[in-house]
Amino acid sequence: MDNSVESGEKRLRVFGALSGRRSFSSSSSPSSATIPLPCETKRMNLFSAVNEALHIALESDPRAYVFGEDVKFGGVFRCTSGLADAFGTHRVFNTPLCEQGLVGFGIGLAAMGNRAIAEIQFGDYIFPAFDQLVNEAAKFRYRSGNAFNCGGLTVRSPYGAVGHGGHYHSQSPEAFFCHVPGLKVVIPRNPSQAKGLLLASIRDPNPVIFFEPKWLYRLSVDEVPEGDYMLPLSKAEVIREGTDITLVAWGAQLAVMQQACAEAEKEGISCELIDLRTLIPWDKELVEASVNKTGKLIVSHEAPVTGGFGAEIAATIAERCFLRLEAPIARVCGLDTPFPLVFEPFYMPTANKVLDAIKAAVKF
């Protein structure tokens, strides 16, 4: 498996070169404020940052458990390496190959007051657990008037393109869960974000689905603060300021958007780039303020364009910023087709596709 991942990375380098809803707990949450980032940093990649976050979660809370398919030896992407040795196989353990079962087990574990951190091996495999997530985890608090809940459940899963995954290892299923009141959906863009957002998700009093962009597990390297820190959920971040057009994305697509912004700047176009970070509940106010300033918006994601979460953002901003819009809102997304293998470069929303959309909007 490691060899296939390394092979995929080589291909990726080639391709790469080219609110709050009322249904969420109102309990005070440690993710509602940022724990100050430690001064010391350490350079690491994304899967190492995830591993460090899990280590801190297990070390800081004896009620925390990590479980899933093959997590005991480290998992497919090695995100859980060393955790079973450090904390014992009673806290870090393998489950049967049954996503419905492992999520159902996590719901029960969380309902007993524990921190249940479940891993779905690939985002594509989360669908057998759909009923447990949508009909049980999301509704658990509300069927009892908050007499009991499973807010301690976090479901981690790698998602998105990897360069060689094809139909069953490359999907981006985030929009399915954004439709469900009671779940939070979080996606980081780099290692430092992954660590801070994952710790916040684990400690949040609501069930959270935490999608990790597998494209970036080894390719994304960053200075990551050492020690325990959290980043606030439901707060988007402006990672590039601009005046001519607003771009919104999440996960691995941020790197693509940054390339497009750099090329647009060469042609005198000033782009404001926003990382949504949390999709549900998402930071409508920050995006609205940016679009009111620029008058234009592009949303980009790997998932198919029809019914993707970009449509929700476009509709919301059209309602809120209608009189300020100077061009149609554009979506640069995956195609409405099953995820291809050899034709992946044609499917993906590339920097060139985003750049074309930027030019079209500015010239409109």
- Looking at the annotation, which residues are catalytic? 99, 169
**Rounded distance between C-alpha atoms, residue 156 and residue 138, angstroms:** 16
Q: How many CB atoms lie within 10 A of CB 113?
A: 12
DSSP 160: S
**Which among 155, 158, 182, 181 is positioned nearest to 100, based on CA atoms?**
155
Residues 333, 301: contact at Cβ < 8 Å? yes
**Rounded distance between C-alpha atoms, residue 97 and residue 121, angstroms:** 10
Place of tokens 């325990």: 228
**Rounded distance between C-alpha atoms, residue 62 and residue 232, angstroms:** 23
Q: How many CB atoms lie within 10 A of CB 337?
A: 10
CA neighbours closer than 13 Å in the CB half-sphere of residue 277: 27
**Rounded distance between C-alpha atoms, residue 35 and residue 37, angstroms:** 6
DSSP 100: H
